[in-house]
Amino acid sequence: MKKMMTGNHAAAYGAMLSRVEVIAAYPITPQTQVAEKLAELCAQGKLNAKYVTVESEYSAMGYCIGASTGGARTFTASSSQGLVFMQEMIHWAGGSRLPIVMVVVNRGLCSPWTVGADQTDSLSQRDTGWLQFYCESNQEILDTVIQSYKIAEQILLPVMVIYEGFYLSHTVEIVNLPDIELVDSYLPKYEPQYKMDLENPATFGSIAGPDHYFRFRYEIQKAMEESKEIIKKAVKEYEMIFGRKSDLVEDYYCDDAEVILVVSGSISGTSRLVVDKLRKEGKKVGMVKIKMFRPFPKEEIRKILRNAEKIAVIDRNISFGHGGIFCQEVKSVLNQGKTKGSPLVYGYIAGIGGVDITYQLIEKVIDYTYNEEPPKDDIIWAGLTYEGQVHEYGFKEGKIFQD
Amino acid sequence: MNMALKKERYSKTELLFVSNAACPGCASVLGLRQILKALEYNVMMIVGAGCVGGYTGSYPYTILKIPALHSSMAGGPSIGAGLKAALDAKGNVDTTVFVWAGDGCTCDIGLAALSGAAERNEDILYVCYDNEAYMNTGGQRSSATPWGATTQSTPKENFESKFKKDITEIMASHRIPYAANVSVAYPEDLILKIKKAKSIRGTKFIHLLCPCVTGWSYPSQYTIKLARLAVECKIFPIYEVENGVKYTINIHPKGTDIREYLKLQGRFKHLSKEQIEFLQNHVEEEWRLLGKKVEWSHSL
């Protein structure tokens, strides 16, 4: 059934179709409608789940941890301040190996206040033992929520399904809602491998000595590595049942590309259009969309990027003191003696705080990558203006580069 | 109340293995043993961060014979409520979810989470083992530290100058079905109250005063004596509040001079005669107010 809906509602329907049993949430813009929709679906009896509005995000994740350890399929959603407020519990869930699925709607962190999109909130949680999928469309959000339970419950690690606030959360698109019976055949009832059980009493999460702690950490990393095959299988199976393909790393015209654009999330669609146009003009341009950020698809990225001359990474996020986070991660898998070439990597920061990343801006990014060698700085500020002036190491759409 | 321990009330069930890592004379582990005797097997436990996280054993060992889940300092109420939600979802409505956390978890860092759980009337039994400071980190003050006490963060030159946070009243004012104070020196009262709490749906809050050998600085043989003196001196009244309004004093104290209680403990050694008098007056005033609440609740 096709329906017009926002990204937030797509996320909520994804949870409903996954037949989640316990939902705990606390409202925060721009996540709010995910929780509201689920409250409505539960109240109307369309979803048989315990829905609770807790007093904080901290308790939302705590509630999910308790419920998941009790053997229930659990769901929550948050953004920005909420996400970092629950951070202790996010680590806890990862360390506890609980298959919780959380939707994260990207929003810039305070201070100062903003509600605009910025992926730094979810990326700052990258070391918590959660898988991270960055979505491009409302359809992808819904599909990814369902796939995430399939994945999480096999590898016993929690999953974040992530998309940018307002660009997807509040934008209406056509979404194909699969039949719930079909989803049931893909995602059967949750039968936990481990849970709190009176018949088989065990203590969960007690103190671990150094050797055990070390081993548990190793096992999380091992599960992350092993999850790659499970993820591929889950996505493939989804494609076979529902007919929708979802690349964990999308290779768009990269085979013979001289310049490859690396993007994530909502700007992927715009980037594809830019590549199409430039290809028509005879420019050898390609694009990589990174959907799966944890586990990081090292081999795939290495393979796709190694023959290019230049790489342009656009980051709607920043790790202060270093640069764009996707850019760092991409660089980390290149030039390690395992690649043939060593493409020059250009790091662009754009769209922070919800600034629009337009078609023209992306075109400019590619132009700059082609023409400027080496880049003026480690970070090129795309679209940043300062007192009306373009940044020294940046440019703005519609203007010529500064020299 | 009949002080004789009635056999039928004191179950032979032991849900703790004999060996544990608590300090000798620890009231918390003793209280836990008594509580589990009252709860019997149909219970799942949330272990708050603190002393209990240590004394229940480290992986792969545990002293607990029941399913248990360790939590963060502030996580107990929500993790417990979430677990209960999962049990409900699976059709298990009988199992008691028992949260066991210290005064730091309860009165300080986890108070918002506990208030949230109480406001939603989550079906959990939350027991605070109150040793009146952050004892597992070496004994720093918490909001449950009483006036006059020294701790590692309130040395005698600057001893605790705030009165103890009245957590039982805070919880009762949420109008939860049951809130009560209990003591390890009165196990029959404790067991009856835990059994009563177990039979009630909704949030139950139990406040257990736990003398702490290392933190209060006294010889370990005085744990029960101090627990009893705290009650007899009216410092820690044994009472219960049903639905936030029905107050009952369960054990009527003798009214022993608080000096008997203070003098056994190193943490009050520095107090002058005037300061002890000040504290005695405060205790009397609090007791008087509690009496007024009992009167008021009878007048309703």
- In three-state form (DSSP H/G/I as H, E/B as E, the rest C), the secondary structure along chain B is CCCCCCCCCCCCCCCECCCCCCCCCCHHHHHHHHHHHHHCCCEEEEECCCHHHHHCCECCCCCECCCEEECCCCCHHHHHHHHHHHHHHCCCCCCEEEEEEEHHHHHHHCHHHHHHHHHCCCCCEEEEEECCCECCCCCECCCCCCCCCCCCCCCHHHCCCCCCCCHHHHHHCCCCCEEEEEECCCHHHHHHHHHHHHCCCCCEEEEEECCCHHHHHCCHHHHHHHHHHHHHCCCCCCEEEECCCEEEECCCCCCCCHHHHHCCCHHHCCCCHHHHHHHHHHHHHHHHHHHHHHHHHHHC
Give A-chain residues touching B41 at CB under 8 angstroms.
198
Q: Chain A neighbours among B 78-137 (CB < 8 Å)?
A: 78-90, 95, 112-113, 115-117, 119-120
pLDDT range class, residue A266, cuts 50, 70, 90:
very high
CB pair distance less than 8 Å for B54 and A207: yes
Query: How many angstroms away from the CA of B275 is the closest CA of chain A?
Result: 41
Which of B53, B71, B83 comes nearest A207 by C-beta? B53
Domain A249-395 has CATH 3.40.1190.20: no
- Give φ, ψ of A348 to 5 degrees: -110, 135
Q: What's the rounded Cα separation, in Å, for the pair A87 and A82?
A: 9
> B222-243, pLDDT tens digit by residue?
999 999 999 999 999 999 999 9
pLDDT at A336: 52
For an interface test with B, the pick among A59, A61, A100 (most B C-beta atoms closer than 10 Å) comes out as A59
Measured between beta carbons, the chain B residues lying within 8 angstroms of A52 are: 81, 85, 120
**Domain A2-242's class?**
alpha beta
- Distance, in angstroms, between A210 CA and closest chain B CA? 11
Residues of B in contact with A87 (CB under 8 A): none
Per-residue model confidence (pLDDT) at position B7: 56
How many whole angstroms separate alpha carbon A289 and alpha carbon A272? 9
Residue A298 is predicted with a pLDDT of 95
Q: Among A59, A62, A71, select the one facing B86 at the smallest CB separation.
A: A71
Residue-level pLDDT at A388: 76
Cβ within 8 Å, pair A65-B82: yes
User: Mean pLDDT score of chain B, rounded to an integer?
Assistant: 96
A65 and B66: CB-CB below 8 Å?
no
A89 touches B at CB < 8 Å: yes
Asked whether the beta carbons of residue B81 and residue A52 sit closer than 8 angstroms, the reply is yes
Kindly list the domain boundaries of chain A, sorted by start residue.
Answer: 2-242, 249-395
| A24 in B contact zone (CB under 8 Å) | yes
| Per-residue pLDDT, A173 | 98
In contact, A133 and A159? CB cutoff 8 Å:
yes
Q: Give CA B74 to chain center in angstroms.
A: 16
- Mean pLDDT (whole number) for A67-80: 98
Task: Return the sign of the alpha-carbon dihedral for residues B148, B150, B156, B158.
Answer: negative
Which one of A58, A198, A209 has the shortest CB-CB distance to B95? A198
Give how far A205 is from chain B: nearest CA, Å: 5
Contact B62 A59 (CB under 8 A): no
Interface test with A, best of B15, B59, B65, B88 (most A CBs within 10 A): B59
| CB within 8 Å: B64 and A201 | yes
Q: What is the pLDDT of residue B9?
A: 65
pLDDT of residue B6: 60
Yes or no, beta carbons of B58 and A209 under 8 Å apart: yes
Please tell me if residue B75 touches chain A, with a CB cutoff of 8 Å.
Answer: yes
Is B90's CB within 8 Å of A71's CB?
Answer: yes
Across the range A257-284, mean pLDDT stands at: 97
CA atoms lying within 13 Å on the CB side of residue A265 = 31
Across the range A223-230, mean pLDDT stands at 97
Confidence at residue A223, expressed as pLDDT on a 0 to 100 scale: 98
Give A-chain residues touching B68 at CB under 8 angstroms. Answer: 201-204, 206
Residue B44 at interface with chain A, using a CB cutoff of 8 Å: yes
pLDDT recorded at residue A6: 98
pLDDT at A398: 47
Interface contact B296, partner A, CB < 8 A: no
Note the pLDDT tens digit of each residue in A293-349: 999 999 999 999 988 999 999 999 999 999 999 999 999 998 654 455 689 999 999
DSSP A321: T
Query: Taking residues A35-40, what's their average pLDDT?
Result: 98
Is B265 an interface residue toward A (CB < 8 Å)?
no
Which member of A21, A66, A207 has the closest CB to residue B80? A66
The answer to whether A62 contacts B77, with C-beta atoms less than 8 Å apart, is yes
Note the pLDDT of residue A402: 41
Nearest to B89 among A50, A63, A205 (CB): A50
- pTM comes to 0.96
Main-chain phi, psi angles of B193, to 5 degrees: -70, -40
- Kindly indicate whether the domain formed by B27-299 is annotated with CATH number 1.10.10.60: no
Question: CA-CA distance, A114 to B208, in Å (whole number)?
Answer: 45
What is the pLDDT averaged over residues B109-136?
Answer: 98
The pLDDT score that the predictor gives to residue B19 is: 86
B21 in A contact zone (CB under 8 Å): no
What residue spans define the domains of chain B?
Answer: 27-299
Note whether A2-242 and A249-395 share their fold: yes
Check if A219 contacts B (Cβ < 8 Å): no
